Amino acid sequence: MKLIDYGVREDERPYIEEWSKENNVEVKIVSDLLNPETIEQAKGFDGVVAYQQLPYEPGIFDKMNEFGIHVLSLRNVGVDNVPFDALKKNDIKLTNVPSYSPTAIAEYSVTGLMILLRSMKSMIRKVDQHNFLWAPDIGRELNELTVGVAGTGRIGQAAIKIYQGFGAKVIAFDKYHNDNIEKQGLYVDTLDQLLKESDVVTLHLPSLGKGNTVINKDSIAGMKDGAIVVNTGRGDLINTQDLYDAVVSEKLSGAVLDVYENEVGIFNSDRSGEVLQDKLLSDMIHNPKIIVSPHIAFYTTTAVKNMATISLDSMVDELNNGKSDNEIDLN
Ligand code: COI
């Protein structure tokens, strides 16, 4: 069996090399992203593994079919950039890594929130300038707040545990109820109710498709004055301009954004010294009440190792047994 792994970062390479040795399977490591040109390198291989934020172009799958390759394994969870129609047309199966480390993302949600609640962004900037004054950066305590968790999949459940550990009152919303969260009586009936009752709303939902935002001008109007939004899910869950305006007008007291609707091509690139063309992003970066980070909630050694190895395990399952627990239903 010969596999080719695309878009590999240096921090992933050792885990892939180790897996290859342990499993005695040849894996060609390629730093190029997967596109209709780079797919040429896959000729002669049995399976393609990849991770990228850019869309997977349909032409990739025509070529895979031509080369007799019928499995694509992703090293990440999100499949919003994969055209299912093109996969189906070419009889290609897709796997993802649904659970590489829910706690990595859940811990980041609370990390970002604590940075905001304790005014760390502006405090760190002040101390950098040798300004050691306390005021006006007085903090708020998490144990006094109601945290609304939107989405109670694995990540949402991990977030609930952590927020409860801080003593916060937790409420939750999801279309699909989890037994344990149900038993604890945490569910509210609607997302609107969650938004209305929460001091902090943390989003752990998948993308709902372009234009289907959960945080926008209308929904913000129904939120508590001074509420905070934390997003470690997908950027397109939020109308970012509406959110920014609400922070500036002080309807909301802040936001933690690890994802951003226009992040592709910017996050995880070095723009040191450049003037950002994206004015909204630039404004948010300079606002002390908005914590922006470049989609790093997942980025821990545990998660990166799991993404690298689970994607390869799934590929082997598909090629050896014709199925994997991580196969995505394309219908
Ligand atoms: C995903 O797994 O889909 C993520 O959002 C993390 C990604 C940046 C590797």
Domain boundaries, the chain: 2-100+301-321, 102-292
User: Would 2-100+301-321 and 102-292 be classified into the same CATH topology?
Assistant: yes
Q: Is the CB of 83 under 6 A from ligand 1?
A: no
Q: Is 18 helix (H, G, I), strand (E, B) or coil?
A: helix
- Read off the pLDDT of each residue in 58-64 and give the average, rounded to a whole number: 98
| Burial of residue 115, with CB atoms counted within 10 A of its CB: 0-12 exposed, 13-18 middle, 19 or more buried | middle
Is there a contact between 30 and 4 (Cβ–Cβ < 8 Å)?
A: yes
| pLDDT computed for residue 165 by the predictor | 98
Q: What are the beta bridge partners of residue 170?
A: 147
Which alpha helices (DSSP H) does the chain contain, by range?
A: 13-23, 58-66, 84-89, 102-117, 120-128, 154-165, 179-183, 191-197, 217-221, 240-248, 279-285, 301-321
Distance between CA 234 and CA 252 in Å, rounded? 20
Q: Which of 12, 234, 261, 318 is catalytic?
A: 234
147 in contact with ligand 1, CB cutoff 6 A: no
CA of residue 77 to ligand 1 center, whole Å: 6
| pLDDT tens digit sequence for 222-259 | 999 999 999 999 999 999 999 999 999 999 999 999 99
Residue 221 CA to ligand 1 center (angstroms) comes to 30
The pLDDT value given to residue 83: 98
Cα separation, 140 vs 143, whole angstroms: 9
For this structure, is 37 an active site residue?
Answer: no
Q: For 253-300, what is each residue's pLDDT tens digit?
A: 999 999 999 999 999 999 999 999 999 999 999 999 999 999 999 999
Catalytic residue at 295?
yes
CA of 296 to the centre of ligand 1 (A): 9
Q: What is the pLDDT of residues 180-195, one digit of tens each?
A: 999 999 999 999 999 9
H or E element that contains 24: none
Fold (CATH) for 102-292: Rossmann fold (3.40.50)
Can you tell me which atom of ligand 1 is nearest the CA of 259?
Answer: 5
Looking at domain 2-100+301-321, does it have CATH number 3.40.50.720? yes
Output b/e per residue, 265-284; b: 16+ Cβ within 10 A: ebbeeeeeeeeeeeeebeeb
Alpha-carbon gap, residue 271 to 275, rounded angstroms: 8
CA 183 to ligand 1 centroid distance, Å: 30
Q: Ligand 1 pocket test: which of 96, 295, 302, 326 has the largest number of ligand atoms within 8 Å of its C-beta?
A: 295
pLDDT at position 177 is 98
pLDDT tens for 297-319 read 999 999 999 999 999 999 999 99
- Give yes or no for residue 96 CB within 6 A of ligand 1: no
Q: Which helix (H) or strand (E) holds 27?
A: strand 26-29
Ligand 1 pocket, residue 98 CB under 6 Å: no
| Cα 135 to averaged position of ligand 1 atoms, centre (Å) | 38
pLDDT tens figures, 71-114: 999 999 999 999 999 999 999 999 999 999 999 999 999 999 99
Q: Provide the token pair at 127.
A: 């101390």
| Cβ–ligand 1 contact at 293 (below 6 Å) | no
H or E segment at 93? strand 93-95
Q: For residue range 139-170, what is the model confidence (pLDDT) as tens digits? A: 999 999 999 999 999 999 999 999 999 999 99
Nearest-atom number in ligand 1 for the CA of 100 is: 2
Would you say residue 210 has pLDDT above 90?
no
